[in-house]
Amino acid sequence: MKVLVTGATGFIGRQVVTQLREAGFEVRMASRQPKKLDPASDAVLLPDFDAPASAFQALMLDITHVVHCAALNNDRKASEADFLAANATLTAQLARAAASRTSGRFIYLSSIRAVAGAGFSGTISEATPPNPQCAYGRSKRDGEVRMLEAYASRPADATALRLPPVYGEGMKGNLAYLLRLGGMPVSLPLPAAVFSGVRSLMSCEAAARTAVYLLSRPQSLRPAYVACDLPPLQVSAIIRAFRDGYGYSLKLSKVPAGLVRAALTLIGKGKAWGAMTATQICDPSLLVSEGWAPRTDILELLTELARRTKSGAAQPR
């Protein structure tokens, strides 16, 4: 069986390729930059979102399954139209081609942002009503809908894997910022109120392993799955793990929450308060009930990531 992996040079895509090969699958890698890949490998150019349907159908020659990792995220310059093109229209093109030309499964790496915004506090599961709050989240949700429409005649073969923030070498966004904060050599007291939120996270390796698991398991697929490592962590614990990896201590001050919130509001960062203090806990019970096992060594993995970053073995982007 051969698996098409889009975004094969990306953060999670590289891990998916590695784990598929270790599991005995043949792999075709589709990337915007196929020249980065081994010339001897089966590597092809990923068509643009507006390419003709025939270009996507050509990708499916001899393909059994698709893992769609390619996405636009963490780009503050991108417009709503840019996100929709990359995350929804491209997904629809791939899903239609795969549904008509392959016999296997389509795994779409989505995000919890497809159902909840950064300021949402609560538990996120497959039953959470979709209510995306940003251009990225809306585009991922639209991608989910279009994928399921393409597979309407065989819904058990397609699913959206909704991921929380993913950590690992090459991560971007807020987790990369927290890693840089953890690596500051000075030991300034940080306001505990700002870092009181609780978050579910997932390692890049675990996200890739879950995608491979969904390809391999015998049961039919549900329309969506929520996955994460366990347990969820307070943001201050994430920073502490990073600082442990760098060899620094963490000091938290008891500045009143109201004072911090007022200061952020005064400088036009009021929305940041909600995002930083929100508690977003993912519930992977559905996956667990179907035989999947989450990673539970999250603190050790975060500490090791910081240790490798400090030594130069890993570089956050």
Q: What is the pLDDT of residue 285?
A: 97
- Please give the Cα distance from 168 to 314 (Å, whole number): 9
- Please give the Cα distance from 30 to 316 (Å, whole number): 24
Q: What is the pLDDT of residue 181?
A: 81
Q: What is the pLDDT of residue 174?
A: 83
Q: What is the pLDDT of residue 74?
A: 74
Domain extent at residue 112: 2-163+203-227+282-295
User: Is the residue at 105 inside a domain?
Assistant: yes
The set of residues, in sequence order, having a beta carbon less than 8 Å from that of 123 and lying 6+ positions away, is 281, 282, 283
Q: What is the pLDDT of residue 236?
A: 86
Q: What is the pLDDT of residue 281?
A: 96
User: Is the residue at 111 inside a domain?
Assistant: yes
Q: pLDDT tens-digit profile of 21-37?
A: 999 999 999 988 777 77
User: Is the residue at 303 inside a domain?
Assistant: no
Q: What is the pLDDT of residue 35?
A: 75
Q: pLDDT tens-digit profile of 54-82?
A: 999 999 999 999 999 999 987 778 899 99
Q: What is the mean pLDDT of residues 128-138?
A: 95
User: Is the residue at 69 inside a domain?
Assistant: yes
Q: What is the pLDDT of residue 316?
A: 45
Q: What is the pLDDT of residue 185?
A: 80
Token couple for 259:
């004072």
Q: What is the CATH number of the domain that holds 44?
A: 3.40.50.720
- Residue written as tokens 């499964």? 105
| Higher-scoring residue by pLDDT: 190, 292 | 292
Least confident residue range of 77-81, 107-111, 142-146, 277-281: 277-281
User: Is the residue at 27 inside a domain?
Assistant: yes
Cα–Cα nearest to 11, from 280, 265, 208: 208
Number of domains, the chain: 1
- Please give the Cα distance from 266 to 260 (Å, whole number): 10
Percent of the chain predicted with pLDDT > 90: 66
Q: What is the mean pLDDT of residues 157-184?
A: 90
User: Is the residue at 253 inside a domain?
Assistant: no
Percent of the chain predicted with pLDDT > 70: 89
Q: What is the mean pLDDT of residues 132-144?
A: 96
Q: What is the pLDDT of residue 160?
A: 98
Q: Give 42's pLDDT tier (boundaries 50, 70, 90).
A: confident
Q: What is the pLDDT of residue 34?
A: 73
Q: What is the pLDDT of residue 30?
A: 92
User: Is the residue at 191 inside a domain?
Assistant: no
The set of residues, in sequence order, having a beta carbon less than 8 Å from that of 159 and lying 6+ positions away, is 105, 106, 107, 108, 214, 221, 222, 223, 224, 225
Estimate the crossing angle of helix 270-277 against helix 257-266, to 10 degrees: 140
| Higher-scoring residue by pLDDT: 314, 226 | 226
Q: What is the pLDDT of residue 317?
A: 45
User: Is the residue at 248 inside a domain?
Assistant: no
Q: Is the pLDDT of residue 315 over 60?
A: no
Q: What is the pLDDT of residue 40?
A: 66
